[in-house]
Amino acid sequence: MPSVPSRLLPTVIKAMRRNRNYLDPVTARAHLTEVSLRPRPYGPPARLRRDVTVTLDRSGQWPIYTIAPISGTPHGSTVYVHGGGWVNEIVSQHWHLAAQIAAVAQTTVTVPIYPLVPFGTAGQVVPMIADLVRTNHDRYGTACIAGDSAGGQIALSAAITLRDEHALTLPRTVLISAALDLSLSNPEIDIVQPTDPWLAREGTRVFIDHWRRDLALDHPWVSPLAADLHGLGPLTVFIGTRDIIYPDTRLLVDKATAEGIEVDYHPGDGLLHVYPLTPTPEGRAARSIIVDRLRAPRPA
Protein backbone atom coordinates (compact mmCIF):
# COMPACT_ATOMS: atom_id res chain seq x y z
CA MET A 1 0.00 0.00 0.00
CA PRO A 2 1.30 3.50 -0.78
CA SER A 3 2.50 5.64 2.11
CA VAL A 4 0.25 8.33 3.58
CA PRO A 5 2.11 11.14 1.71
CA SER A 6 1.67 9.26 -1.57
CA ARG A 7 -2.03 8.74 -0.88
CA LEU A 8 -2.46 12.48 -0.21
CA LEU A 9 -0.70 13.60 -3.39
CA PRO A 10 -3.70 13.21 -5.74
CA THR A 11 -5.73 15.56 -3.54
CA VAL A 12 -2.89 18.09 -3.51
CA ILE A 13 -2.46 17.92 -7.28
CA LYS A 14 -6.16 18.47 -7.87
CA ALA A 15 -6.37 21.28 -5.31
CA MET A 16 -3.45 23.07 -6.98
CA ARG A 17 -4.92 22.33 -10.41
CA ARG A 18 -1.58 20.93 -11.55
CA ASN A 19 -3.42 18.85 -14.17
CA ARG A 20 -5.35 21.71 -15.81
CA ASN A 21 -3.02 22.14 -18.81
CA TYR A 22 -3.40 18.49 -19.83
CA LEU A 23 -7.16 18.17 -19.58
CA ASP A 24 -8.39 19.89 -22.76
CA PRO A 25 -6.96 21.48 -25.92
CA VAL A 26 -8.23 24.99 -25.18
CA THR A 27 -6.45 25.20 -21.83
CA ALA A 28 -3.33 23.58 -23.31
CA ARG A 29 -3.15 26.17 -26.09
CA ALA A 30 -3.63 29.00 -23.60
CA HIS A 31 -0.76 27.62 -21.50
CA LEU A 32 1.42 27.33 -24.59
CA THR A 33 0.78 30.99 -25.40
CA GLU A 34 1.49 32.03 -21.81
CA VAL A 35 4.86 30.31 -21.52
CA SER A 36 5.84 31.52 -25.00
CA LEU A 37 5.20 35.13 -24.03
CA ARG A 38 6.58 34.84 -20.50
CA PRO A 39 9.28 32.14 -20.36
CA ARG A 40 9.87 30.66 -16.93
CA PRO A 41 13.26 30.91 -15.17
CA TYR A 42 15.43 27.84 -15.51
CA GLY A 43 18.45 28.38 -13.26
CA PRO A 44 19.22 26.15 -10.27
CA PRO A 45 17.70 26.99 -6.88
CA ALA A 46 19.70 29.33 -4.67
CA ARG A 47 19.81 26.63 -2.01
CA LEU A 48 21.17 23.62 -3.81
CA ARG A 49 23.42 21.13 -2.01
CA ARG A 50 26.58 22.64 -0.54
CA ASP A 51 28.65 19.63 -1.56
CA VAL A 52 28.41 20.34 -5.31
CA THR A 53 29.58 23.02 -7.69
CA VAL A 54 27.48 24.32 -10.56
CA THR A 55 28.93 25.86 -13.72
CA LEU A 56 27.22 27.27 -16.79
CA ASP A 57 28.35 27.07 -20.41
CA ARG A 58 26.58 29.45 -22.79
CA SER A 59 28.95 28.98 -25.72
CA GLY A 60 26.56 26.74 -27.67
CA GLN A 61 22.97 27.05 -28.80
CA TRP A 62 21.56 26.24 -25.36
CA PRO A 63 22.62 26.91 -21.77
CA ILE A 64 24.38 23.81 -20.43
CA TYR A 65 24.85 23.39 -16.69
CA THR A 66 27.38 21.03 -15.12
CA ILE A 67 27.08 19.81 -11.54
CA ALA A 68 30.08 18.15 -9.91
CA PRO A 69 30.93 17.00 -6.38
CA ILE A 70 33.22 19.29 -4.42
CA SER A 71 35.12 16.51 -2.65
CA GLY A 72 36.78 13.55 -4.28
CA THR A 73 37.40 12.86 -7.93
CA PRO A 74 34.23 12.44 -10.04
CA HIS A 75 34.06 9.45 -12.36
CA GLY A 76 32.07 9.33 -15.58
CA SER A 77 29.04 11.47 -16.31
CA THR A 78 25.28 11.56 -16.66
CA VAL A 79 23.19 13.79 -18.89
CA TYR A 80 19.90 14.54 -17.13
CA VAL A 81 16.99 15.62 -19.37
CA HIS A 82 14.16 17.25 -17.45
CA GLY A 83 10.47 16.63 -18.03
CA GLY A 84 7.53 18.99 -18.27
CA GLY A 85 5.41 17.93 -21.21
CA TRP A 86 7.89 19.46 -23.71
CA VAL A 87 6.39 22.82 -22.72
CA ASN A 88 7.35 23.43 -19.07
CA GLU A 89 10.78 24.50 -17.85
CA ILE A 90 13.01 22.63 -15.45
CA VAL A 91 11.93 22.91 -11.79
CA SER A 92 13.57 22.52 -8.39
CA GLN A 93 12.81 18.79 -8.09
CA HIS A 94 14.87 18.12 -11.21
CA TRP A 95 17.75 20.21 -9.90
CA HIS A 96 17.78 18.50 -6.53
CA LEU A 97 17.83 15.04 -8.11
CA ALA A 98 20.65 16.04 -10.46
CA ALA A 99 22.65 17.42 -7.53
CA GLN A 100 22.02 14.28 -5.47
CA ILE A 101 23.30 12.12 -8.33
CA ALA A 102 26.46 14.23 -8.63
CA ALA A 103 27.22 14.33 -4.90
CA VAL A 104 26.34 10.80 -3.85
CA ALA A 105 27.33 8.91 -7.00
CA GLN A 106 30.50 11.03 -7.26
CA THR A 107 29.92 11.73 -10.92
CA THR A 108 29.49 14.72 -13.20
CA VAL A 109 25.91 15.60 -14.15
CA THR A 110 25.15 17.70 -17.22
CA VAL A 111 21.79 19.46 -17.39
CA PRO A 112 20.86 20.90 -20.82
CA ILE A 113 18.27 23.68 -20.99
CA TYR A 114 16.78 22.54 -24.28
CA PRO A 115 14.24 24.63 -26.24
CA LEU A 116 10.61 23.93 -25.44
CA VAL A 117 7.56 23.97 -27.67
CA PRO A 118 6.49 25.86 -29.67
CA PHE A 119 10.13 26.71 -30.45
CA GLY A 120 11.85 23.38 -29.84
CA THR A 121 11.06 20.20 -31.75
CA ALA A 122 12.01 16.55 -31.52
CA GLY A 123 13.91 16.82 -34.79
CA GLN A 124 16.07 19.57 -33.33
CA VAL A 125 16.47 18.47 -29.72
CA VAL A 126 16.97 14.68 -29.82
CA PRO A 127 20.07 14.64 -32.07
CA MET A 128 21.66 17.49 -30.10
CA ILE A 129 21.09 15.65 -26.81
CA ALA A 130 22.70 12.60 -28.43
CA ASP A 131 25.68 14.75 -29.44
CA LEU A 132 25.97 16.09 -25.89
CA VAL A 133 26.07 12.54 -24.48
CA ARG A 134 28.72 11.58 -27.03
CA THR A 135 30.78 14.64 -26.09
CA ASN A 136 30.54 13.67 -22.42
CA HIS A 137 31.53 10.10 -23.28
CA ASP A 138 34.67 11.37 -24.98
CA ARG A 139 35.45 13.87 -22.23
CA TYR A 140 34.73 11.80 -19.11
CA GLY A 141 35.36 8.27 -20.38
CA THR A 142 31.78 7.11 -20.03
CA ALA A 143 28.32 8.65 -20.12
CA CYS A 144 24.83 7.63 -19.02
CA ILE A 145 21.56 9.38 -19.73
CA ALA A 146 18.51 9.87 -17.53
CA GLY A 147 15.23 11.69 -17.93
CA ASP A 148 11.74 11.98 -16.57
CA SER A 149 8.41 12.19 -18.45
CA ALA A 150 9.02 14.17 -21.67
CA GLY A 151 12.71 14.13 -20.77
CA GLY A 152 12.55 10.35 -20.55
CA GLN A 153 11.24 10.24 -24.10
CA ILE A 154 14.15 12.41 -25.24
CA ALA A 155 16.61 10.29 -23.26
CA LEU A 156 15.52 6.97 -24.77
CA SER A 157 15.28 8.48 -28.27
CA ALA A 158 18.82 9.83 -27.85
CA ALA A 159 20.09 6.42 -26.69
CA ILE A 160 18.59 4.85 -29.82
CA THR A 161 20.19 7.55 -31.98
CA LEU A 162 23.59 6.96 -30.40
CA ARG A 163 23.31 3.24 -31.11
CA ASP A 164 22.21 3.74 -34.72
CA GLU A 165 24.30 6.72 -35.81
CA HIS A 166 27.41 6.50 -33.64
CA ALA A 167 27.65 2.79 -32.68
CA LEU A 168 27.65 3.88 -29.04
CA THR A 169 25.90 1.72 -26.44
CA LEU A 170 25.32 3.53 -23.16
CA PRO A 171 26.17 1.76 -19.90
CA ARG A 172 22.86 2.90 -18.36
CA THR A 173 19.68 4.70 -19.38
CA VAL A 174 17.37 5.72 -16.52
CA LEU A 175 13.73 6.37 -17.45
CA ILE A 176 11.36 7.98 -14.94
CA SER A 177 7.76 7.81 -16.18
CA ALA A 178 9.06 8.25 -19.71
CA ALA A 179 6.65 9.11 -22.52
CA LEU A 180 7.15 6.25 -24.97
CA ASP A 181 4.41 6.24 -27.62
CA LEU A 182 3.19 9.73 -28.46
CA SER A 183 0.25 8.42 -30.45
CA LEU A 184 -1.33 7.75 -27.03
CA SER A 185 -3.22 4.97 -28.79
CA ASN A 186 -2.78 2.16 -26.27
CA PRO A 187 -6.36 1.09 -25.39
CA GLU A 188 -5.30 0.34 -21.81
CA ILE A 189 -4.79 4.08 -21.26
CA ASP A 190 -8.58 4.29 -20.97
CA ILE A 191 -8.43 1.89 -18.02
CA VAL A 192 -5.75 3.87 -16.19
CA GLN A 193 -7.02 7.37 -17.01
CA PRO A 194 -9.71 7.56 -14.29
CA THR A 195 -7.05 6.87 -11.63
CA ASP A 196 -4.50 9.40 -12.96
CA PRO A 197 -4.97 12.81 -11.30
CA TRP A 198 -2.26 14.46 -13.38
CA LEU A 199 -2.06 13.56 -17.07
CA ALA A 200 -4.71 13.33 -19.78
CA ARG A 201 -4.70 12.70 -23.52
CA GLU A 202 -6.49 15.70 -25.02
CA GLY A 203 -4.37 18.55 -23.72
CA THR A 204 -1.15 16.56 -24.04
CA ARG A 205 -1.79 16.05 -27.75
CA VAL A 206 -1.50 19.81 -28.31
CA PHE A 207 2.06 19.77 -26.99
CA ILE A 208 2.87 16.56 -28.85
CA ASP A 209 1.79 18.03 -32.20
CA HIS A 210 4.14 20.98 -31.72
CA TRP A 211 6.95 18.74 -30.51
CA ARG A 212 6.89 16.28 -33.40
CA ARG A 213 6.26 19.02 -36.01
CA ASP A 214 6.72 17.23 -39.35
CA LEU A 215 7.90 13.88 -37.95
CA ALA A 216 5.59 10.87 -37.95
CA LEU A 217 4.24 9.71 -34.61
CA ASP A 218 6.15 6.44 -34.96
CA HIS A 219 9.50 8.12 -35.66
CA PRO A 220 12.09 7.00 -33.07
CA TRP A 221 12.76 10.64 -32.15
CA VAL A 222 9.07 10.95 -31.23
CA SER A 223 7.95 7.52 -30.02
CA PRO A 224 10.97 5.42 -28.96
CA LEU A 225 8.70 2.45 -28.22
CA ALA A 226 8.22 2.09 -31.98
CA ALA A 227 11.96 1.59 -32.54
CA ASP A 228 13.98 -1.62 -32.61
CA LEU A 229 15.46 -1.85 -29.11
CA HIS A 230 18.05 -4.54 -29.86
CA GLY A 231 21.55 -3.55 -28.82
CA LEU A 232 20.64 -0.88 -26.27
CA GLY A 233 22.45 -0.88 -22.96
CA PRO A 234 20.81 -1.63 -19.61
CA LEU A 235 17.61 0.23 -18.73
CA THR A 236 16.37 1.29 -15.32
CA VAL A 237 12.66 2.04 -15.49
CA PHE A 238 10.35 3.69 -12.95
CA ILE A 239 6.58 4.04 -13.39
CA GLY A 240 3.55 4.43 -11.15
CA THR A 241 0.47 2.34 -11.84
CA ARG A 242 -1.73 5.47 -11.59
CA ASP A 243 -0.03 7.00 -14.63
CA ILE A 244 -1.46 6.86 -18.16
CA ILE A 245 2.07 6.06 -19.34
CA TYR A 246 1.99 2.80 -17.35
CA PRO A 247 0.52 0.60 -20.15
CA ASP A 248 3.21 1.69 -22.63
CA THR A 249 5.90 1.20 -19.99
CA ARG A 250 4.86 -2.42 -19.56
CA LEU A 251 5.14 -2.85 -23.35
CA LEU A 252 8.63 -1.34 -23.26
CA VAL A 253 9.75 -3.67 -20.48
CA ASP A 254 8.38 -6.72 -22.28
CA LYS A 255 9.84 -5.68 -25.63
CA ALA A 256 13.27 -4.86 -24.22
CA THR A 257 13.43 -8.06 -22.20
CA ALA A 258 12.47 -10.11 -25.27
CA GLU A 259 15.32 -8.47 -27.17
CA GLY A 260 17.85 -9.45 -24.52
CA ILE A 261 18.23 -6.07 -22.84
CA GLU A 262 18.87 -5.93 -19.12
CA VAL A 263 15.86 -4.18 -17.56
CA ASP A 264 15.81 -2.99 -13.95
CA TYR A 265 12.08 -2.37 -13.50
CA HIS A 266 10.49 -0.47 -10.59
CA PRO A 267 6.69 -0.26 -10.87
CA GLY A 268 5.12 1.72 -8.05
CA ASP A 269 1.79 0.17 -7.10
CA GLY A 270 -0.75 2.96 -6.56
CA LEU A 271 1.84 5.66 -7.25
CA LEU A 272 1.66 8.63 -9.60
CA HIS A 273 3.50 10.11 -12.55
CA VAL A 274 7.22 10.77 -11.84
CA TYR A 275 6.88 9.35 -8.33
CA PRO A 276 10.69 9.28 -7.84
CA LEU A 277 10.62 13.09 -7.82
CA THR A 278 7.95 13.33 -5.13
CA PRO A 279 8.55 14.17 -1.43
CA THR A 280 7.42 10.74 -0.27
CA PRO A 281 9.09 7.64 1.21
CA GLU A 282 8.68 5.92 -2.17
CA GLY A 283 10.28 8.90 -3.90
CA ARG A 284 13.26 8.89 -1.56
CA ALA A 285 13.77 5.16 -2.03
CA ALA A 286 13.60 5.52 -5.81
CA ARG A 287 16.12 8.38 -5.81
CA SER A 288 18.56 6.20 -3.88
CA ILE A 289 18.23 3.50 -6.53
CA ILE A 290 18.75 6.05 -9.31
CA VAL A 291 21.92 7.31 -7.68
CA ASP A 292 23.22 3.76 -7.29
CA ARG A 293 22.54 2.85 -10.92
CA LEU A 294 24.32 5.99 -12.18
CA ARG A 295 27.43 5.43 -10.11
CA ALA A 296 30.23 5.11 -12.66
CA PRO A 297 32.73 2.27 -12.18
CA ARG A 298 36.10 3.35 -10.76
CA PRO A 299 39.24 2.71 -12.80
CA ALA A 300 41.13 -0.40 -11.74
Q: State the Cα–Cα distance between residues 208 and 44, nearest whole angstrom.
A: 27
Q: State the Cα–Cα distance between residues 190 and 58, nearest whole angstrom.
A: 43
Q: State the Cα–Cα distance between residues 37 and 100, nearest whole angstrom.
A: 33
The predicted structure's pLDDT at residue 298: 61
Peptide bond into 118 cis (omega under 30): yes
Query: Which residue ranges of the chain lie beneath pLDDT 50?
Result: 300
Using DSSP, state whether 53 is helix, strand or coil: strand
Which residues, including other chains, have CB under 8 Å from residue 87's CB and lie 6 or more apart? 21, 31, 32, 35, 116, 117, 207, 210
**Entry pTM:** 0.97
144: β partners: 78
Q: State the Cα–Cα distance between residues 247 and 178, nearest whole angstrom.
A: 11
CB–CB of 247/179 below 8 Å? no
CA-angle at 286, arms to 120 and 260, nearest 5°: 75
CB–CB of 39/218 below 8 Å? no
Q: State the Cα–Cα distance between residues 5 and 187, nearest whole angstrom.
A: 30
The predicted structure's pLDDT at residue 16: 80
